[in-house]
Amino acid sequence: MPQIKHIAIATQDADQTAKFYKEVFGLQEIAKLDSDNASGYYLSDGNINMAVLNFKNDQVAGAEYGTGFSGIHHIGFEVESLDEIAKKLESAGSNTRDEINQALGVGMPGNRHANVEVKYSGPNGEIIDVSETGWVGTRGLD
C-alpha cells in the first residue's frame, strides 16, 4: 500500500522555516541542500521527510507556483511499483508533470534514485511525487 513519506513546503526563507519546524516540532535536520534548482533543508521525524525549499527557477517550481510561491508545494508517496501506480494515476486522469520531470532529470526509465522518481498532477492541481526507493529520513533517524 502506498504511504505518505514526503511533504515539501516552498518558502522565501528556508532558514527561518526550517528553524520553526525544528524548534516547535523537534524535527531533525537530515540534510542541507543548495543546487541550481533549490536551496533549503530536508527535515525528518524518522517517518516523514519534510523538504523546506526556496526554488530558484520557475520550471522546477512548476509554472502554476513559480519561485515566489510559499506554502505546501507537493506531497510524496512511496509505492511498491512505479508501473502499477502509473496505470492507476492515468486511469484517474492524472498526467505526468513532464516539464518538471525533465528539469529535474527524473521520470525516465532506469533513472531511479532516492527521493522523487516521477512527478504527477493531483486532482486539485497539486503536485504528487512517487518513488519506489523512498526519501532520506523515512526509515528512522539512525
Query: What pLDDT is stored for residue 123 in this prediction?
Result: 78
Amino acid residing at 141: L
Q: What is the pLDDT along the chain (142 residues), one digit of tens a residue?
A: 889 999 999 999 999 999 999 998 899 999 999 999 999 999 999 999 999 999 999 999 998 999 999 999 999 999 999 999 999 999 989 999 999 888 888 876 665 556 778 999 887 778 989 998 888 888 887 5
Kindly give, in sequence order, each residue whose CB lies less than 8 Å from that of residue 11, ignoring residues fewer than 6 positions away. Answer: 17, 40, 52, 53, 54, 70
Query: What pLDDT is stored for residue 16 in this prediction?
Result: 94
Q: Which is nearest to 135 in space by CA: 54, 80, 76, 72?
A: 76
Is residue 40 domain-resident? Answer: yes
Could you give the residue ranges of the DSSP H alpha helices within 1-142? Answer: 14-25, 58-61, 82-91, 98-104
Classify 89 as helix, strand or coil: helix
CATH, residue 100: 3.10.180.10
Using CA atoms, how far apart are residues 80 and 1, in angstroms rounded to an integer? 7
Cβ–Cβ under 8 Å, residues 43 and 27: yes
Using CA atoms, how far apart are residues 98 and 34, in angstroms rounded to an integer? 23
Query: What pLDDT is stored for residue 12 in this prediction?
Result: 95
Query: What pLDDT is stored for residue 110 in this prediction?
Result: 61
Query: What pLDDT is stored for residue 55 in this prediction?
Result: 96
Query: What pLDDT is stored for residue 140 in this prediction?
Result: 81
Is residue 138 domain-resident? Answer: no
Query: What pLDDT is stored for residue 41 in this prediction?
Result: 97
Is residue 94 domain-resident? Answer: yes
Using CA atoms, how far apart are residues 23 and 3, in angstroms rounded to an integer? 26
Classify 33 as helix, strand or coil: strand
- How many structural domains does the chain have? 1
Is residue 86 domain-resident? Answer: yes
Q: State which residues form the domain around 31.
A: 3-131
Terminal CA-CA length for the chain: 24
